[in-house]
Chains A and B, each alone.
Chain A
Amino acid sequence: MAARKRTRKVTIIRRIVQAAFGLFLIGTSIAHNLIAEKTGAAIASAEALCPFGGLETLYHYLTTGIALSKIHLSNLVTGAALLIGLLLAGNAFCGWVCPFGALQDLLDWIRRKLHLPTINVPGKLDGILRYGRLVVLGVILYATISTAKLWFADYDPFRTIFGLGWIFEPSLEAWPAYLIAVLFIIGALLIPRFWCKYACPLGAVLSVTQHLSLFRIRRNASSCKGCAICNTPCPVGINVAETKNRVSVNCVGCLECVEVCPRKGALELQFAPVWLPTPQQPEPPKPQFNVPVAGK
């Protein structure tokens, strides 16, 4: 009960922030479909706000001075905003802002409320599947650069779901995109943060930039008592309790582990830019209790 109470504050604030961004995106998308499509008013579509679009077009823009078709200046701006945010604050975008992450958290909440089964991916398989993000990113970048068009737009589940085309302009021709979106929803219902862990191309980029972040969550082994309570709330199944120093690059910066840790100083958010030396840590003690890692 005490641990659950400790999670509430950061969880509540995070849910509010996620809901705010998610509802803003959906509202803008509805307004775009109802008003902008008919009058040409400057109301953003979901894809106009997607920072990944800016990253997708970056190569083409830098080499030719031309952005890809379907890309707006706002994509480049949000892409730049995201990169700056990442360098400053690591992967907090994933845990606090990304509407796709918020949708997955919502689906996970629904799963728990409905007592649906969850798939626990075995550790080794989970480790291999995590590289899926890099594969997806590589395929997207290769296809985008070689075709010089926004290739992923026709399959992107974010664009499919939040663009609301399935409501306002349903089309049988878009069946591949609908199928991918449905598979995403099913996956997210069965595995917490399924897309983030195994398929998100933006997450693959973030896993690299996270190394440059000014802030990082660090585990202090000398303060840790090995209770492993920190493993329980992690939405991406990181074994926080056995982290040697800094938490994995798969971290989404939700801060739930920091919030729930009962030992002051054991798990902290630290200002730790890459140019500062990493403090040496003793070998972490094995957890005293067999608290399973979520999703594993």
Chain B
Amino acid sequence: MRVNKYVMPIILIVAMFAVVLVAQATGSWQVTGSTQIVPTTSSGRPDPEAIKGKMTLDEVITTYGIPQADLYAALKLPSDLPTSKQVKDLESVIQGFEVDSVRQAVIDYYATHP
């Protein structure tokens, strides 16, 4: 059955946008943050080695269950620093800062809070 040639691109674009809109409406449209569940250590806790520079402080706090106050104290961060700050950007806050510092802070926290 012959159809108007514009039917094909119109249906394609409408269908694609419809899926995206449904995803947005159901909260499934996320363009940031990883969908990866952080791998766990043998103790069953999230592996600190999986901390990446692109993770925000909030994600570290949430994923690893370390209170903000404890994390900030361990890293000597100013208390008014927003948790939306990415780990890799802490270099601008603390001279000589490295992502490993965050990993070590979590390791130390786990050691004192088994």
Contacts and interface: CB of A to CB of B under 8 A. Distances in A.
A49 interface: yes
A21 to B, nearest CB: 9
A81 B16 contact: yes
Interface residues of A, number: 51
A269 B35 contact: no
B31 interface: yes
A33 B86 CA distance: 14
A92 B8 contact: yes
Interface stretch (A70-78, A118-126, A188-196, A280-288): A70-78
Interface in B1-33: 1-9, 11-13, 15-20, 23, 28-33
B2 A269 contact: yes
A277 to B, nearest CB: 13
Contact of A72 (B13, B18, B30): B30
Contacts of A259: 5
Nearest to A32: B31
A44 interface: yes
Interface residues of B, number: 35
B47 to A, nearest CB: 13
Contact of B33 (A13, A72, A82): A72
Given A80-B19, A84-B16, A89-B9, A74 B2 contact: no
Contact of A73 (B13, B19, B30): B30
B37 A65 contact: yes
A157 interface: no
A140 B52 CA distance: 24
Nearest to A49: B31
A97 B11 CA distance: 12
A221 interface: no
Contacts of A90: 8
A72 B4 contact: no
A13 B10 CA distance: 11
13 contacts: A17-B13, A38-B89, A70-B34, A72-B30, A73-B28, A80-B19, A85-B11, A88-B12, A92-B8, A96-B12, A96-B13, A265-B2, A269-B2
Interface of A: 10, 13-14, 17, 36, 38-40, 42-45, 48-49, 65-74, 76-78, 80-82, 84-85, 88-90, 92-93, 95-97, 215, 253, 255, 258-259, 265, 268-272
